[in-house]
Structure 1
Amino acid sequence: MEEIRKTFKAPWDWLLILMTSGITLLLLGLNYYTPDVITTLITWAIILGALGFGIFGYHIEGGKLKILRLGWSKDIDISNITDVEYRPHAMTGSVRTFGIGGLFGYVGYFRNSILKSYKAYVTHRNKTVVLTTKDGDIVISPDDPETFVASLKSILKDN
């Protein structure tokens, strides 16, 4: 019997790299040219706040899918997942309704014509996996979407 892979990285796509680098450099540049206390606090609050909500990986453990953050995780109960599908570019045409759209991740609530309203915990828009849950769709982006889907389907089948 083949070992089920349970840990997946969260790779960044080129746009996320570009946006995170650009926004961070812009904020640090503004702070450099206007080095007062308020600007410094705002700059670091934005950078560290977004970093705290960034996505750093995915881990399946103890009946939960853990979306790994900086020092914490967002846990999704696997028993709430009814389907899992590798759907590249699932976020195409999406509009962010509430969340972060390109600073350390695409995280929050989004909407498009195919999925309607959904939650995203994504770092790579081409490697998207759609989780259908009892509470609505969730989009994630593990480094190996096919293996992630096979692993999660195997676990769902055993439950």
Structure 2
Amino acid sequence: MHPKQHLAPWGRALIVISLLSSLLCLGISAGLMLSRVRGLSWPALLPLAVLAICALFTVRGYVVTADALLVRRLLWNTRLPWRGSAALQSVQAEPDAMRGSIRLWGNGGMYSFTGLFRSKALGSYRAFVTDRHRTVVLRFANRTVVVSPASPQDFVRDVQQVLGLPAAS
């Protein structure tokens, strides 16, 4: 089977949070630079560093391969193997799966919702999300992962096909 590409479109919340936080960081940086008559100071670079780091962790899409899910980032892929001691047990499209979640560690909306989250419905989970309304929950033997492909149903179908899982009815 050839790898299947899935885009990770940005939802409205991510667009708004990313825009506002970017403008805030740029404004703080500009204000600090303008307040320093004798040149650039390191505090002015801090907000720009935050923007750059968050941009690096942006989720650009997902690739379903025979042996793993690849989460496409700006400069690298995060690899989540399907088999082994942490084998995938189920995959299901669950719209708004992140509802009621709290962020334990990670990014809460500056170019992506990524990191460790917790909710009553899912317990602790790792998110690689760009649209909180278009979510798919992957339950592995030792963890839960939430992603947000453009077409959750197509993504689920592709994962089921590559692993030989029965389609949910």
Q: Is this a same-fold pair by TM over 0.5?
A: yes
Q: Which has the larger radius of gyration?
A: 2
Instruction: Give the fraction of aligned pairs with identical amino acids, expressed as a percent.
Output: 32
Runs of 4+ in 1 over 6 A off after TM superposition: none
Instruction: Specify the alignment match of 2:23 in structure 1.
Output: 25
Give 1:44's aligned amino acid: L
Deviates more, 1:55-64 or 1:103-112: 55-64
Match of 1:16 in 2: 14
Per the TM alignment, residue 93 of structure 1 is displaced from its structure 2 partner at its CA by 0.3
Partner of residue 146, structure 1: 153
TM-score (norm 1): 0.93
3-state SS of 2:98 partner: coil
Deviation at 1:62, TM superposition (A): 4.5
Residues 115-143 of structure 1 deviation map (CA, whole Å, 9 limit, x = unaligned): 01111000000100000001211000000
Distance in 2, matches of 1:152 and 1:112, equals: 24
User: How many residues are aligned here?
Assistant: 156
Q: What is the Cα deviation at residue 57 of structure 1? A: 0.3
Quick one: which of 132, 137, 148 aligns to 2:139? 132
Conservation of the 8 A alpha-carbon contact between 1:129 and 1:141? yes
Q: Distance in 2 between matches of 1:153 and 1:62?
A: 11
Tell me whether 38-47 or 108-117 shows the greater mean CA deviation: 38-47
Shift of 1:5: 7.0
Structure-1 separation of matches of 2:44 and 2:53? 14
1:4–1:72 Cα change, 3 Å: closer
**Aligned-residue RMSD, C-alpha:** 1.5
The gaps in structure 2 that reach 5 residues or longer are 34-39
Give the TM-score, by structure 2 length: 0.88
d(CA) in 2 for partners of 1:102, 1:81 = 27
What letter corresponds to residue 61 of structure 1 in structure 2?
T
Q: What runs of 5+ residues in structure 1 fail to find an aligned partner?
A: none
Residue 64 in structure 1 maps to residue 62 in structure 2? no
Contact 1:5 1:148 in 2 (8 A): no
Q: CA deviation at 1:86?
A: 0.2
